[in-house]
Structure 1
Amino acid sequence: TAFHKYNLSLGAGLMEVAGKVFRIGHLGDLNELQAAAAIAGAEMAMIDNGIKLKPGSGIAAASEYWRKAIKE
C-alpha cells in the first residue's frame, strides 16, 4: 500500500465522489512543497497499482500552476 511503501496517507473519496477521487491525509497543515511530495507519492502508488499515467505528469501540472499562482 502507499502507506507501507511510501509512508503516504491516502483516503477514499466520500459520498458523491466515492470511487472517483482519493484524499491526501495532511491534518490541516500543508504547503506547496509538502503537497508536491504527496502528489509524487500518489503517482508512484497509482503506477504500482497498474494505473496507466505518465510518471511525473501530476507534479509537472501542479508545479506549473504554483509557479504562476504564487506571488513573491
Structure 2
Amino acid sequence: MDAHDNDDPFADLALDKAIHLRWTLRDIKAQRLTLSPVADDDLSLLAERGLVEVSDGVPTLTDAGLDAIT
C-alpha cells in the first residue's frame, strides 16, 4: 500500500463511484459544467469532503480537490 492511499478522499467508495467523482472534479476545474452538469448528490458529497466550495451556485475546487486529481 502506498503512503498516499491514506490521503485518498474516495478510499471508502466503490471504484466506479470514485472514478466518476474524479471526472466530476476535472469537469469543474475545466468549467465544463454546461456540457456536464454536476448532479446535486455528487456536489453535496464533494462539498462534504471539502473538495469543492459553491459560491453563487458555481462550484470551484478547493486545494484538496485539486490534490485529488493531480
TM-score w.r.t. the length of structure 1 is: 0.29
Max radius of gyration: which structure?
1
Which has the bigger relative contact order, CA under 8 A and spacing at least 6?
2
